[in-house]
Amino acid sequence: MFSSDYWQARDRFRQAAQSLNCVLETHPIKALGPQGRSLSIDIARYGSKSPHTTLILSSGLHGVEGYCGSAIQMATLTDLLPQLTLPKGMAVLLIHALNPYGFAWNRRCNEDNIDLNRNFLLPGQSFFWQPSGLWSTGFFSEPPSTPDPTRSLYSQAAGLRAAIWRFIP
Ligand SMILES: [Zn+2]
């Protein structure tokens, strides 16, 4: 079930989590959404209280993608989990809207204009560009010319697979 905005998605997530007796946490962030509305990252835990195995299902790292991720989390809470018996010692952690600012404003980056999936250095760590082997897949992810429409996606994917196997010993 797709929501029409971040707040509807968050309300639905909270209600579904409570209906399933999940432990629910809300972590507000300082940044605000449209009309100055407050934003938060919401976390629901289902299953073991002291798990040795945890499945984490997060949504909305790239803000606007939260519509899809939130819908998947809703389906998990309302359709999937009620039918499952989790193994002993297992928990499912659903993290709703890792980037609530981007979700609420329909953008990919967060309130600091950071793409959270491209910036994950810890404080003090240096940026060393990228692994040299990444270039061997560049023809697929960054082709030098317009892709040849007569080549099927399958054959292009097969080329990528071959390139990866050359890179991985
Ligand atoms: Zn993404």
Per-residue model confidence as pLDDT tens digits over 42-81: 999 999 999 999 999 999 999 999 999 999 999 999 999 9
Give strand pairing partners of 56.
Answer: 93
The residue behind tokens 């080549």 is: 151
Those residues whose beta carbon sits under 5 angstroms from the ion ligand 1 are: 62, 65
Please determine, for residue 169, whether its predicted confidence score (pLDDT) is greater than 50: no
38-47, 86-95, 147-156, 160-169: the lowest-pLDDT one:
160-169
128 CA to middle of ligand 1, Å? 23
Task: Indicate the domain borders of the chain.
Answer: 6-104, 132-167
Helical ranges in 20-152 per DSSP H = 66-75, 100-104, 138-141
Q: Separation of 124 CA from ligand 1 center, angstroms? A: 25
Distance of alpha carbon 59 from alpha carbon 70, whole angstroms = 6
| Burial (CB count <10 Å: 0-12, 13-18, 19+), residue 130 | exposed
Question: Tens of pLDDT along 126-144?
Answer: 877 666 666 666 655 666 6
Q: Which two tokens stand for residue 127?
A: 């940026």
- Ligand 1 centroid to Cα of residue 57, in Å, is 14
